[in-house]
Structure 1
Amino acid sequence: MIKVDLLAIGQRIQNQRLALGYTQQYVYEKLDISQNHYSRIENGHVGMSFEILLQLSEILELSTDYILIGNPAPTDNIELLNNYKLLTPKQQKYIDDHMKLFINSNLK
């Protein structure tokens, strides 16, 4: 059974916010919640709704899995997906075609 560690959740949120150079004010205004409520989340005093969790995930560019339990692997996928979205359709097709070639090859 996984234990919810609000203090660790708050620390992960705060660390990423600081890494991105965001102020608490920037984040709580984006979330449309009070400064006090956001501060209590970061300090591990309260949990959050699913809606806030999903919004935080988007704002802080973190997976919900990482926010909740600290599993860092999915964040790499988010960055990769965000970079893919920046490509033109022609570039995306090029990547897709080459990925299919690698998947179907015997290189392992």
Structure 2
Amino acid sequence: MTHVVSESCIRCKYTDCVDVCPVDCFREGPNMLVIDPDECIDCAVCIPECPVNAIYAEEDLPANQIAFIKLNAELSLADGWKSITKRKPALPDAEEWKDVTDKIGELVR
């Protein structure tokens, strides 16, 4: 099993999680992070670090977020989605978006 970044990360992109990841499995896109499932060692240290509760163990992912398993795998290999290993500031309007749901249409690939 692996961990998955869910929809809550879209338009927020808090990066607290990358500081604690022992294997550097996070990839950064324009307005979201994803986890490379081939790199994740299922340690779970990233879960409590996310201020918007966007990270789940695959088996704990809410039913309405299951598509993010495939999306994380796909985007972790996409051009332009590079490894991120150091914390950066969240997106400027992250606070406005942190509690918004149904944000998949906001995802920038």
**What TM-score, normalized to structure 2?**
0.31
Structure having greater relative contact order (Cα 8 Å, sep ≥ 6): 2
**Structure 1 or 2: more helix by fraction:** 1
**Structure 1 or 2: more strand by fraction:** 2
